[in-house]
Structure 1
Amino acid sequence: MKNKIIIFSNIKGGVGKTTLCALFASYLAERGYPVMAIDADLQASLYRHRKREKDVAPEVQVPWNVDLLDTANRELLERVMGKLKEVPGVVLIDCPGNLNDRNLEYIYKSADTAIIPVSFDADTVDATGIFVKALKTVSAADLVLIPNRINTSEKKSEELRQRAQTTEFLGLVGTVIPTVKQSVAVKRYTTLYPLEKNQLSAVEPSFDKIIETLHLNE
């Protein structure tokens, strides 16, 4: 399989990029795609999550690897990104929500695709616009925007109109993927065990569309 570097990023916190990265890694692995994850976030949430799970269940075989990437060391970062471009499979990178770290340009420039989780509130939409504008100055990555943790029970006409307008706006800068509904199942993730049935039903339409958009089956 050809190498694909896919980053999960946005400067707005709380949009669920780490959770989606982990869920997507599991989804790909369960479908036979060679996949690994890189935690480049300063909080190292994904890496620490895996470590906690392995401490509890050291006998469980990992379905995909998680490595930690120090973005503070410019020379090391450049060297690592060069090696990741040679990996025969999908490399998912959980990026920090930071536009001030110039070293991150090495990651952005290496990315084939940026998956950007969003919500429909004005602050997140504005922050996403700022991030997309900055990203485009250093990266030629295709943009995939995924509305995440969305309360779909809201049926007010004004709310629906605003969401339609936001989706149309996001569609001008990238491919908008079907919404991932707000649910406890999606917030709760594991890096060791298969996706639960309710998790699968929540993410399958969105993740299948991502696979189609990225031509991972080719």
Structure 2
Amino acid sequence: MKSKVIAIANQKGGVGKTTTAVNLGAALARRGERVLLVDADPQGNLTSSLGWPNADELDVTLATHLAAAIRDADFPPRAGVLSHAEGFDLMPANIDLAVTDIELVTAMCREEAMRSWLDGIKGSYDRVLIDCMPSLGMLTVNALAAADSVLIPVQAQHLAAKGMTELVKTISRVQRKINPGLAIEGVLLTLYDVRTNLSKETEAKIREEYGPRLKVFKTKIPAATKIAEASAFGESVFVHDGRGKGAVAYEAFAEEVVARGKRERDTLRPAVAR
């Protein structure tokens, strides 16, 4: 299986990017995939939610690798990788990444730093998931430049569809100017409350507006307390509440992601090999 890099992005905060990175990564690892999660947010929420709350004390983080790429310095790409008990790996982040974000603005080949590092490590994994910060700055552009596809979590609440417009424009610009192979993996509805008309109306609007040109996943991630609680214990929802509706939803979502990847591989397979 060829390694696939998926950036999880939305410039709006609180839409479940980090939660999706953790639980999709865990679900894929449970299926036997080799998975690397990359924390690309200076706040380090992914790092802390996986059980490393003192990220500022780590000697090597994503910032270290991006700084080396900016300076074209030789640095071991696997340095600093942390192994989680649930069978996947993490490249952590801390506040140092905020400085790197500023340095990227004036760096040569500034959009290429993350791709440069990932090219040296992604071959060890089946899937790499990049948890992007809630902005469309240089770190997010770096993630898009390094990715094969973008997963867009969208909160099933008011103005969610409107907030997607700028992100889709940014993705289009990256496709045209930096990474022509970048695709949109799909849109994932999160924090969905089946009891409210608002969630249902948001879903209908997104499927109507974006469904004809983008994949909108069938699975909807519920607004479930157990999903939020899991991060406080440094674990996925599968360990924290394995029979709950959150675990069921993320398992179903992983199934969709895997099935989508299989269809892509079948489509790309040369006719002579069929």
Q: How high is the TM-score relative to the length of structure 2?
A: 0.67
Percent of residue pairs identical: 22
Letter of the 1:15 counterpart: V
- State yes or no: 1:131 paired with 2:162: no
- State yes or no: 1:65 paired with 2:65: no
Contact 2:48 2:54 in 1 (8 A): no
**Residues 132-188 of structure 1, C-alpha deviation per residue, up to 9 Å, x if partnerless?**
11112103222310000111112x5x8745532322212134211121121112223
Secondary structure, counterpart of 1:180 in structure 2:
strand
Secondary structure, counterpart of 1:104 in structure 2:
helix
Question: Residues of 2 paired with 1:63 and 1:8: CA distance?
Answer: 20
- Corresponding residue number in structure 2 for 1:10: 10
- Corresponding residue number in structure 2 for 1:45: 45
Matches within 5 A, 1:92-131: 92-99=129-136, 101-131=137-167
Matches within 5 A, 1:1-218: 1-52=1-52, 61=85, 63-68=87-92, 70=97, 71-72=100-101, 73-74=103-104, 76-99=113-136, 101-139=137-175, 140-154=182-196, 156=197, 160-161=200-201, 163-177=203-217, 178-190=219-231, 191-192=234-235, 194-195=238-239, 196-198=242-244, 199-215=246-262
**Bigger relative contact order (CA 8 A; separation at least 6):** 1
Question: Residues of 2 paired with 1:165 and 1:109: CA distance?
Answer: 29
Letter of the 1:138 counterpart: V
Secondary structure, counterpart of 2:11 in structure 1:
coil
**Shift in Å at residue 92 of structure 1?**
0.7
Contact 1:16 1:117 in 2 (8 A): yes
Secondary structure, counterpart of 1:215 in structure 2:
helix
**Shift in Å at residue 79 of structure 1?**
2.5
Task: Please identify the structure whose Cα radius of gyration is greater.
Answer: 2
**Residues 13-65 of structure 1, C-alpha deviation per residue, up to 9 Å, x if partnerless?**
1111101110111111111011010000121101122344799xxxx845211
CA 1:159/1:211 → structure 2, altered by over 3 Å: closer, same or farther? closer
Q: How high is the TM-score relative to the length of structure 1?
A: 0.83
Letter of the 1:182 counterpart: A
**Shift in Å at residue 215 of structure 1?**
2.3
CA 1:62/1:166 → structure 2, altered by over 3 Å: closer, same or farther? closer
